[in-house]
Structure 1
Amino acid sequence: MDDATLIELSAQETHDLRRRVLRAGTPSTVVEWQGDDLDTTAHLGVLETKTVVAISTWLTSPSPDLDRHHAGIQLRGMATDPAARGHGYGSLLLLAGIDRARRSGADHVWANARTAVLDFYVAHGFEVRGGEFENVETAIPHRRILLCLPPAADTNPLEG
């Protein structure tokens, strides 16, 4: 990971990996998603020798499992180029996104995660919620995951 850099991307800069990794072998070719261009949406990436090798998208949206009074961030479209796997880039993106969510005042992060990669998210503290369902666009089994966030360490609710 010495040559890797965490960067912010535009929505368009995520499209290649979304197409090659997240849509490969599925009936869907859609790589432009609702919310991609909102000011509150963040696209994070890992750059390795001038090439984007991992991506994630973070949208302001509370989990459907919680009431609407919660401030949530939804993780969507996490992908790593198959040739770049095993270098910790997924963990780097996940931890950076969680930190960003916490600093923004979110009290949870959630996602509809592919069932095949649940262990990755559980190892990072996520809880699996509800039963398995098939994503309507990709026909791939998913489960909802949730991570409740403590307040940011530098936030003092008594100040102000």
Structure 2
Amino acid sequence: MTNLYEIKLVTTRETLPLRKKVLKPFLSEEECVNPGDDLPTTYHLGLFSNGELVSISTFIQEAHPDFPAQFPYRLRGMATDETFRGKGVGSILLKHGEDFLRGKGCDFLWFNARIKAFSFYEKLGFSYYGPLFEMKNIGPHKVMYKVLDHK
């Protein structure tokens, strides 16, 4: 990626335009707020390219019922503006998020992935769990996860 970029913590409100545009265009921005978005243990990361917010990820402290973990987090609302897809910004942001969470003591990261994002997450070392399931108005998903080692 040749553009200059910066990753920093952002607010829930700052994530909403990209969440709506990329993930849930059938909802209003207000309806794109996730449960847990405003908890003090939730982190929203944004990747800015030349000052423009182009990729977002939200990490909410939440256990998966089938995985015993000491300090699990769930990824929600991972989105990259379509003009920046395929340029590595999503990978850069997610790797940064993993390192950030490791620094907080997180040992397990999981999420519900859309089929079209499977290969993106596979390349970053995430594994599948369980069967495909349908999310209303969005389509088929599968749980993906990664154990975060502490180097």
- Pair 1:135-2:135 in alignment: yes
In structure 1, what is the Cα distance between the partners aligned to 2:131 and 2:139? 14
Aligned residues: 148
* C-alpha deviation, 1:142, in angstroms: 0.6
In structure 1, what is the Cα distance between the partners aligned to 2:10 and 2:82? 20
The two structures, once aligned, show a CA RMSD in angstroms of 1.4
SS of alignment partner, residue 147 of structure 1: strand
SS of alignment partner, residue 74 of structure 1: strand
In structure 2, what is the Cα distance between the partners aligned to 1:148 and 1:50? 33
User: 2:80 maps to what in 1?
Assistant: 80
SS of alignment partner, residue 56 of structure 2: strand
* C-alpha deviation, 1:114, in angstroms: 0.6
User: 2:119 maps to what in 1?
Assistant: 119
> What is the TM-score when the length of structure 2 is the normalising length?
0.91
SS of alignment partner, residue 34 of structure 2: coil
SS of alignment partner, residue 106 of structure 1: coil
Unaligned runs of 5+ in 2: none
User: 1:145 maps to what in 2?
Assistant: 144
- Tell me the amino acid that sits aligned with residue 149 of structure 2: P
* C-alpha deviation, 1:43, in angstroms: 0.4
* C-alpha deviation, 1:65, in angstroms: 2.1
Query: Could you say which structure has the larger radius of gyration?
Result: 1
In structure 2, what is the Cα distance between the partners aligned to 1:63 and 1:70? 11
Residues 23-74 of structure 1 deviation map (CA, whole Å, 9 limit, x = unaligned): 13x5x4421111111111000011112211110000111222213x531010
- Tell me the amino acid that sits aligned with residue 62 of structure 1: A
Matches within 5 A, 1:11-30: 11-24=12-25, 26=26, 28-29=27-28, 30=31
- Tell me the amino acid that sits aligned with residue 149 of structure 1: L
User: 2:91 maps to what in 1?
Assistant: 91
* C-alpha deviation, 1:139, in angstroms: 3.2
SS of alignment partner, residue 143 of structure 2: strand
> What is the TM-score when the length of structure 1 is the normalising length?
0.86
Percent identity between the two aligned chains = 37
User: 1:103 maps to what in 2?
Assistant: 103
Q: Greater share of helix residues, 1 or 2?
A: 2
User: 1:53 maps to what in 2?
Assistant: 54
In structure 2, what is the Cα distance between the partners aligned to 1:139 and 1:145? 17
User: 1:34 maps to what in 2?
Assistant: 35
Unaligned runs of 5+ in 1: 154-160
